[in-house]
Amino acid sequence: MAEKNVPPSKTITDALDLETTRLRIEEGLALPGLFSCSELSQIDALINEEDPEDKPLTSADILTINPKAPVGAETELEKSELAAVSELATALFTENRGVINWEADFQMGASFIAANLWRNPQVQNYYEKICILRPESVEKHYKRALLSIRRELQCTRTEFYDKMRMQRVLLIFLNAESIPEDEATSFLRKFLKKAKDRHQRGDPVSVLMIGKVDIKGLTTPADKTLSSRIAEGLQVAPGARWPFFLRQWRRFGLHRGTHQSEEAGYVIKRAHWHYEAIRARSVWPINIRLRALFATHPTNYVVFDPTAGFEWLVGKGVPLTSDVQLFVDDVRAFLRNREPTFAEQKLRVLRSISTAKYWLSRSALEQLLEEDNSLDVGSVGNSLSTALDDLKPAVTVVPPRTDSVNQDTYVAGIGVKALVQDDWLEKARLDRALAHWRVADRLFKLKHSGTVLLEEFPYDPYWGAGARFYFASETIRHLMRSVQKMDLAKSPPRELPKGATFPEKPFPGQEGCNPAQVVNFCFNNLYQDILNEHEAFPRARALSRRYGAYGLAAEMLQLMSAEGKIGEPHPALSANHRRAFIRESGSALLNIGELKLALDCYRTLMNASSTSSTAESVLDQVNDELEFALILTILERLDNAGHSIESARTKLKSIDPTPLSPESSERYFRISERAAAREVHLAYLTKKPNEVLSLISSLEKQRPKEPDLIHFKIASMMKSDDPQMQEEAFATCLGAVVDHGTRGQHHDALGFRVSLGHMFRAQKRYALAEDVLGSVHKYILKYGCSERTNLAFLVEAGRLLSDQGRMVRAYATYLRIAFLRAAARGFVRDRETAFAHARAALLEIRKGANDRENTAVGSWRFELDKARREDDEYRERDMPKSHGEFARDPLFGYSIAEVEETFARLEQLSGIDSEIEWLDSSAAAARAPL
């Protein structure tokens, strides 16, 4: 009764003081946030449903798909992706619920699966529209995207669910795990509850939430069962990973417009190793798609290196395909929606892990965090596990794997790390530079710690080079990242302080380390002194002559180049080192088969006038002209090559060797040998074997050590009909193998092994030839080699099988690949040699297929299957082997080319005829003048 005496206004005022009353009014009016408005304009915006931001939504916020007229039908789905689409689509029609929750994370490529639900016939027949929403930010979530859909459906908030169901719209919420618990009274929460409660039995699902949602009463145990089933089936089976990679590699090559013909280089080797040798790990299709895209970058030798950033790995200006764009949007949404809630340490943990090319060890992570003065050093160890839990699914903790790796390691996907690096570079450049400097400083101090190598990298020591080989190269990587995209005008050159043995860390107020200190230290102290072993052997090229690590050389030189353009010195590189840098770049490019780029490097050196006329300077000029002549010779521009050799000879004659120091005198005679080697090369190509032997015999007293001279001597003597001369050739070749091997010139010794195999084949000692060439192949697969050595091996291996009548494998496994690689790179003589033998093999294959089809000797398919079995046995023997979850491998070797498609084309006479036609037309196109 007392309440009746209370004035009505007072009762309303008291009720409005209660939050529950205000929320009920907001819900009843469908105006959430009404009582938070402080101005009439804000209330007007709520009533009129105005978009608070005057900027258009993008496909990263909302993606609308018409299942009956979809976009992206040309994109191939992997078998596991098709299974996931089928499983999820079936759930939409059988779960008999309005809302289902697929507890998937973005690393699985869940958004791509959702975007391809239209492929299911039931989905196509029922749904008129699929709307995929991604949260814009922590505060707004899906607000603007939902408003956009309501406007399109022409309905209010209260009408939204009914209108959506009537028009058969499927709403898919991505990154749903980002919805915080305080959304309990929001429109979104109430909308989801309505979708659940008002679902009519027999109707398909209206709402699909992707990402683990913790909303009481919304999810059921069935969601977990469904999620586990899809996740298990979405992993790509070990045997399917490599074939899927190759298909995507070809697809992205066509998309980029730079499709590569060959499939056996060191870039492909790394992917082959990643997917074939390490089968224990989980692999999602999106991981394979990303690596395939990165592998098609035509001028990137810093392959699969996330520290370069996503933009660099893809290539500037390259449009992203829908599958890749969805993943990029997912990661950016993860960073956008998590970053504001991250404690400083959590963000630093994620960023620190992104500095790792493969993984980050616990000791490395703790050291990085402890060196940061903004962190509580004492709490790092205790709170690290909490931070790592909050970073899921971006980061995975891998427990100790082997006795040699007895600590946790932290792993994130290459795409995630690359995007984090881009984000970090944009938002906190100095902070990123300091982190990479700290990594570099740590690795440099570990350069002689062989026992630590396996804790940090999946590497085997490289042909006796030891841990320093890798620690030095990774130090270059991280130091160069500490000066990435810096404005040199703001960082004038500064000398290293007296007594300093490492570049200074970046000072506050700068964008990174001092570029002059970093670039000159990386090239002179790390690349030349340690990797090329100038400390012990001045002017040596250990990376090439000793180890054959041409892929590594190209990678390191690109890191130190201007804007990643190998051959162009970084602007901060001292003038004293520029010619040497260009010369090293030219040599590396020549040996990985990039002839035109190598030619440009040597042309730059020859066109640049030297300010010095000392004997050493003239010898440099002579050497440059001789390398230039070598490339011209390979390109079959023999007249131009002859002019360059003549010019080099003239300069060489201007030097009086008498007053030279012992070291300079030795160099003078080595370069003289090189000049003779170029002359011999020309004489050999113009079919003048007597002149070749005459030129070489004139040098016999000096016992020439130039490998090319010895090769041509052996080849010319083998052409002789004199048995004694052929025996001498054999002895010379065997001696060269032993001599170069004992002197540590492993790569040069490899070339002589190919020659030895050639001689055994010529003598019809096929078993010995196979043993020798088999050992060569193992070295090439594990350690790599120059393109010239690789082509020589492929042609010789093909000829060996052809001589034994094993034409199918000769063509498919060796000669076809040799032709493709030589034609793509401009190795004219190798191209023509491979073409001649490949065509001869194809003609024999056609004859054999025709004979067997028309006689009772046996089917042609039987012969093909025999070749396939032989090829499978050889692959099983030579494939990279796993050593646990992270295989141990130098990663600069070559991969075994895939040949099954070639075998398939040889099954029918029509296919063989098509292959002959393809070979002829490809050769004609390669010969056509540019």
Q: How confident is the model at residue 374 (pLDDT cuts 50, 70, 90)?
A: very low
Pair 101, 222 in one domain: yes
pLDDT for res 343: 63
More confident residue, 895 or 114: 114
Indicate the pTM of the whole model. 0.88
From 323, 338, 369, give the residue that closes a domain: 323
- 152 and 198, same structural domain? yes
Residue 211 placed within a domain:
yes
Please choose, from the candidates 604, 684, 596, 670, the residue with its C-alpha nearest in 3D space to the C-alpha of residue 632: 596
Amino acid code (one letter) for 100: I
Work out the pLDDT band at 401, boundaries 50, 70, 90: low
Cβ contact 703:669 at 8 Å: no
Interval 797-815 mean pLDDT: 96
Q: Is residue 918 part of a domain?
A: no
Question: What pLDDT score was predicted for residue 217?
Answer: 79
Question: Are residues 97 and 189 both part of a single domain?
Answer: yes
Q: Are residues 78 and 220 in the same domain?
A: yes
Average pLDDT in the 766-781 region? Answer: 92
DSSP codes, 728-771: HHHHHHHHHHHHHHHTT-HHHHHHHHHHHHHHHHHTT-HHHHHH
DSSP secondary structure letters along 647-713:
HHHHHHHT---TT--HHHHHHHHHHHHHHHHHHHHHHHHTT-HHHHHHHHHTTGGG----HHHHHHH
Confidence of residue 624 (pLDDT cuts 50, 70, 90): very high
Residue 307's pLDDT band, with cuts at 50, 70 and 90, is very high
Residues 252 and 319 in one domain: yes
Above 70 in pLDDT, residue 44?
Answer: no
Model pLDDT, residue 377: 43
**Is 150 within the bounds of a domain?**
yes
- The reported pLDDT for the residue numbered 117 is 94
pLDDT (tens digit per residue) in 226-276: 999 999 999 999 889 988 998 999 999 999 887 666 555 678 878 887 787
Phi-psi region of 460 (alpha: psi -120 to 50; beta: other; left: phi over 0): beta
State whether 279 and 293 are in the same domain.
yes
pLDDT number for residue 373:
56
Helices (H), 428-466: 429-445, 453-456
Out of 304-318, 335-349, 797-811, which region has the weakest mean confidence (pLDDT)? 335-349
Task: Answer yes or no: is 71 within a domain.
Answer: yes
Question: DSSP code of 813?
Answer: I
Domain membership of residue 530 (yes or no) is: no
State the residue range of the domain holding 294.
Answer: 238-323
* Pair (43, 80) in one structural domain: no
Please state, in angstroms and rounded to a whole number, the distance separating the CA atoms of residues 810 and 692: 31
Q: For 391, phi and psi rounded to 5 degrees?
A: -90, -5
The pair of three-digit structure tokens given for residue 774, joined into one six-digit string: 């088999």
Task: Pick 186 or 508 by higher pLDDT.
Answer: 508
| Residues 92, 204 within the same domain | yes
Residue 264 lies in a domain: yes
Contacts of 721 (CB under 8 A, 6+ apart): none
- 583 occurs within a structural domain: no
Mean of pLDDT values over 903-927: 94
Kindly report, residue by residue over 150-196, the tens digit of the pLDDT: 888 888 777 888 999 999 999 999 988 877 666 544 677 788 888 99
Number of domains in the chain: 3
Retrieve residue 99's tokens.
């809302």
Q: What is the pLDDT of residues 547-585, one digit of tens each?
A: 778 888 999 999 999 999 999 999 999 999 999 999 999
CA 278 – CA 850 distance, rounded (Å): 42
Laid out side by side, the sheet with 409-411 consists of: 360-361, 409-411, 396-398
Q: Do residue 180 and residue 319 come from a single domain?
A: no
Same domain, 188 and 286: no
3-class DSSP assignment, residue 309: coil
- What mean pLDDT comes out for the span 271-296? 85
User: Across the chain, which distance is largest between two alpha carbons, in Å?
Assistant: 131
Residue type, 574: S
Mean pLDDT of all residues belonging to the chain: 85
pLDDT band at 702 (very low <50, low <70, confident <90, very high): low
The string of pLDDT tens digits covering residues 456-474 is 888 777 666 778 888 999 9
CATH at 175: 3.40.50
> Would 183 be classed as within a structural domain?
yes
Pair 839, 919: CB distance under 8 Å: yes
| The last residue of a domain, from among 323, 345, 368 | 323
- 356-368 mean pLDDT: 89
Q: Is residue 762 predicted with pLDDT exceeding 80?
A: yes
Same domain, 245 and 213: no
How far, rounded to the nearest angstrom, does the alpha carbon of residue 702 sit from its chain's CA centroid? 47
Higher pLDDT, 781 or 597: 597
User: pLDDT digits over 60-109, tens only?
Assistant: 778 888 888 777 677 889 999 999 999 999 999 999 999 999 999 888 99
Q: Enumerate long-range contacts of 874-883, CB under 8 Å, 24 or more apart.
A: 874/813, 878/777, 878/778, 878/781, 879/276, 879/277, 880/272, 880/273, 880/276, 880/277, 880/781, 881/277, 882/277, 882/278, 882/279, 882/280, 883/402
User: Of the candidates 892, 915, 77, which has an alpha carbon nearest to the alpha carbon of residue 554?
Assistant: 892
For residue 838, give the 3-state DSSP assignment.
helix
Shared domain for 316 and 173, answered yes or no, is no
